[in-house]
Amino acid sequence: MTPAEPQKVLVADDDPVNRDVLCELLQPEYTVLLAKNGAQAVERATRHVPDLVLLDVMMPDMSGFEVLRRLRATPQTEHVSVIFISGLDRPEDEAAGLKMGASDYIAKPFNATVVLARVALHLQLVRQRRLLEHLAHVDGLTELANRRRFDDVYDLEWQRARRSGRPLSLALLDIDSFKQFNDLYGHPAGDRALRAVARVAGTHMRRPADLAARYGGEELVLLMPETDAVQALQIAQALRQAVAELMIAHAGSAAASCITVSIGGASLDPAQAESSAALFEAADVQLYRAKQGGRNRVMWRGAQEALTDAG
């Protein structure tokens, strides 16, 4: 989410005068992209994914209607907002455009103030939709992905790993003696500690496909696509150590004098037909072992030794 960045509007019109007028009108406030025919409109929209497309209906070779049909059929532009600008002013044309999923319909010759107002309105709607999507995917306290987001991504990555034959690693992380921390220091301090641990977890998920999510309470889940057990174990161990180095005092911990975490992990062997639920279960078993083994340690399925400060 970068709300400061100007929104992108693609203007597709075969008439150079119309393009110039619209460009001049919109340029002060928005980043304007231009296309002079339908094919170029589809290509630019797919490449730049604008927030809004102002689309001329009457263009040679490919009509605005056809452009919209193609945008709706392409994953990147499936949801892009489109306003038709058309010299056709028959109600049935307007109805056809809206039925195809256009957000609005402006008749030519257009009035500059009306165009600006409608563009501003639709871009505002785009912003609100993005914000809602963002809120629906993010945990409010830690600002990590939430559980719903994790469930969606995990499902996709598991399928991808099975298809590609590439490894997939999953880890569960739990803050040690967190209830005691809250009892001793109060819930606001507990929230701060959880946020600090979440930040450390987030920074250790370095690659674009890696995901740290809040699974519930003081439990986080880490998803590392294309990462085998050896690599994932190293990352988990570095994370565990980085949390200890925060040196958040915890007088009531069963593991140390500061906040620590236990981590349990498992890696998918794509050759085995293991379900996503079974992999999750395996990581959970390892987390339990880490807790039973004295906390502040990493346990990984298939790895011999627990990784603690000594290991």
Sites of contact with Mg ion (CB under 5 A): 14, 56, 58
Known active-site residue 43: no
Distance CA 228, CA 205 (A): 14
Cα gap 235→116, rounded to integer Å: 50
At 302, give phi and psi (nearest 5°).
Answer: 90, -20
For the bound state, the minimum distance from the C-beta of residue 44 to Mg ion, rounded and expressed in Å, comes to 17
Cβ of residue 85: shortest distance to Mg ion, in angstroms? 9
Nearer to Mg ion, 13 or 157 (CB): 13
**Complex with Mg ion: residue 35 or 138, whichever CB lies closer:** 35
Measured CA to CA, the distance from residue 168 to residue 272 in angstroms comes to: 12
HEC profile of 106-171: EECCCCHHHHHHHHHHHHHHHHHHHHHHHHHHECCCCCCECHHHHHHHHHHHHHHHHHHCCCEEEE
φ, ψ (nearest 5 deg) of residue 171: -135, 145
Of 41 and 213, which CB lies nearer to Mg ion in the complex structure? Answer: 41
**Smaller CB distance to Mg ion: residue 62 or 268?**
62
**Shortest Å, Cβ 19 to Mg ion:** 10
Least distance CB 86 / Mg ion (angstroms): 8
| C-alpha distances in Å from residue 183, one per residue of 153, 186, 206, 269, 274 | 34, 6, 33, 41, 40
How far is CA 256 from its chain centroid? 35
Residue 100 beta carbon to Mg ion: minimum distance, rounded to whole angstroms: 17
Which residue in 218, 245, 274, 305 is the catalytic one? 218
- The label of the residue with tokens 């994914």 reads 49
Quickly tell me which residue has 């919109």 as its tokens.
26
- Distance, C-alpha 17 to centroid of its chain: 39
Task: Tell me whether residue 18 or residue 177 sits nearer to Mg ion (CB atom).
Answer: 18
Residues catalogued as catalytic: 218
